[in-house]
Amino acid sequence: MDERVERIFRAAAHVKGRICGCAPEIGIVLGSGLGKLGDRIENPVVVPYSEIPGFPVSTAIGHKGNLIYGTLGGRKVIAMQGRFHFYEGYSMDLVTLPIRVMKVLGITTLFVSNAAGGVNFGFRIGDLMIIKDHINHLPNPLIGKNMDEFGPRFPDMTRPYSPELRQRAKKIALEAGIELKEGVFFASPGPSYETPAEYRYYRMIGADAVGMSTIPEVIVARHCSIDVFGVSVITNEAHDDYSDNYVNDGEEVIEAADRAADKMCYIFEKLIETL
């Protein structure tokens, strides 16, 4: 057997043992500063990444490094409190390992979130943007020998983010008086923040927000025929010009994401109730 597949099934067997053989329906990936949704999971079983065979350890700011199994919105969920990034030095197989592990455990829907820089001039700090499409400048995680156990060599990406889930989320937000944006997410390798010229370029090619994660997970989820819903929390605003003392700061990104997290948690939980 492909050793990548062996690693996936070995990790899944460990997690399955920790959750007493239960099968989650929904997977959740919580990005920078957005881990508080994990605190709303009822009857939680917490499995640190460090205890899972073959799992990397998350080193990014604001990523706790746990899998949490339990109930949210009346459904069995398994949530990642923190993800793995290409910029941490991990291969794409390791970056996306948890998605395939969750597939083996039984999920059929994946919720992803991230903290993202605003590229669209209409976005403000704390806005929530439903991801309707993406532009990928990270290595594609499907490069290499195809894992036939999980999906086809050439998976369709016409609708990477479920139109039905996006419409349900808009209805939930409208009823709750929460303003939602919708747009295209751009992923770059990082870890350096973007230059003003790069921001202008991303805007010109159709991006509304930019980050350093998420898309590899989405590609692998769609390869596995998992439905995906994604939200970016906008943590800084686009500018036409930058002052001489302007600085992008990682701690400020986490703080902005934390302030917006309650709105995102509400939408996620209510949307899960509809599944």
Q: How does residue 38 score in pLDDT terms, banded at 50, 70 and 90?
A: confident
Q: Give the residue from 188, 264, 274, 271 showing the smallest Cα distance to 35.
A: 264
Instruction: Check pLDDT > 80 for residue 177.
Output: yes
Rg (alpha carbons) of the chain, rounded to whole number: 18
In the numeric block, which tokens belong to residue 273? Answer: 């109730």
How confident is the model at residue 261, as a pLDDT?
A: 82
How confident is the model at residue 274, as a pLDDT?
A: 95
Instruction: Check pLDDT > 60 for residue 248.
Output: no
pLDDT for 53-78, tens place per residue? 999 877 655 557 899 999 999 999 99
pLDDT for 79-89, tens place per residue? 998 899 999 99
Instruction: Check pLDDT > 80 for residue 240.
Output: no
Instruction: Check pLDDT > 60 for residue 243.
Output: no
pTM here? 0.93
Q: By CB neighbour count within 10 A (0-12 exposed, 13-18 middle, 19+ buried), where does 216 fall?
A: buried
Secondary structure (DSSP) of 210-247: EESSSHHHHHHHHHTT-EEEEEEEEEE---SS--TT--
* Identity of residue 135: I
How confident is the model at residue 249, as a pLDDT?
A: 53
Q: How does residue 35 score in pLDDT terms, banded at 50, 70 and 90?
A: confident
| Residue 90 DSSP SS3 | coil
Question: What is the average per-residue pLDDT within 150-160?
Answer: 97
